[in-house]
Amino acid sequence: MKKIVVLLLAAVMIMPMSCTESKPDSVLTPPIDNPDDGDEDEPDAKTYKVGDYYKEGLAEGVVAFVDETGEHGLIISLDEGVAQWSSEYRGLIDLGYPISHDNGAYNTSVIKEIENWKELYPAFAWCDRKNALGLSSWFLPSIYELEHAYMGLEAINATLAEMGETTIATGNNDLYWTSVEVGVQSAYPFSFLYGEISSYDTDKKNEHRVRAMRKF
């Protein structure tokens, strides 16, 4: 009997110390999502509506038109001048320069290709004087662009008046030059009373009001 007990004790002693499964040397822990990881959301682009005061860097004016996003459009200058369209009779179309009815920036760029343009085209030169200290985008607006300003005229003039600036004139004889040429001796002035071009007083050498525009 003693022999049996001794044998049982010996068998127990040679068994593995633990019958439980051994753990792996290392345990892989799944990564934890960090809400701060990754790029931060970019701030929303600033949006505008017609009549808003606009100032970005040195560019300053009143919003006259916006696209469907509200992020891009046209501003019109806070001030205005009086100038001739040109001081000589010269047909740009005859010289091979096509004129756009809806793109004043293009029309202005065409004028600026002509020698001594600042002396010969005072209305364009007045707008260009705003292009200082790195600015280069002010231009004499087209018919189409002034029509946009006419559609938002009430809001634009309200902002101009609030700021103490000269409002856009709407008298019967208050005409604003567009950048659109009619012929050798004439160009189109625009009436904010009627919201359309004027068929009279189109002589390029006449002096009319001038407002500059700029895209944003």
63-120 tens-digit pLDDT: 999 999 999 999 999 999 999 999 999 877 777 888 899 999 999 999 999 999 999 9
> Average pLDDT, stretch 188-192?
98
pLDDT of residue 160: 98
Asked whether the CA dihedral 90, 94, 96, 99 is positive or negative, the reply is positive
> Average pLDDT, stretch 160-189?
96
Q: What is the DSSP string of 137-188?
A: --B---HHHHHHHHHTHHHHHHHHHHTTPPPPP-STT-EEEEEEE-SSSBEE
- Determine contact, residues 161/178, Cβ cutoff 8 Å: no
- Determine contact, residues 200/178, Cβ cutoff 8 Å: no
The total number of residues shown for the chain amounts to: 216
pLDDT of residue 93: 77
CA distance 3 to 191: 126
CA distance 170 to 209: 11
Which is more confident, 90 or 55?
55
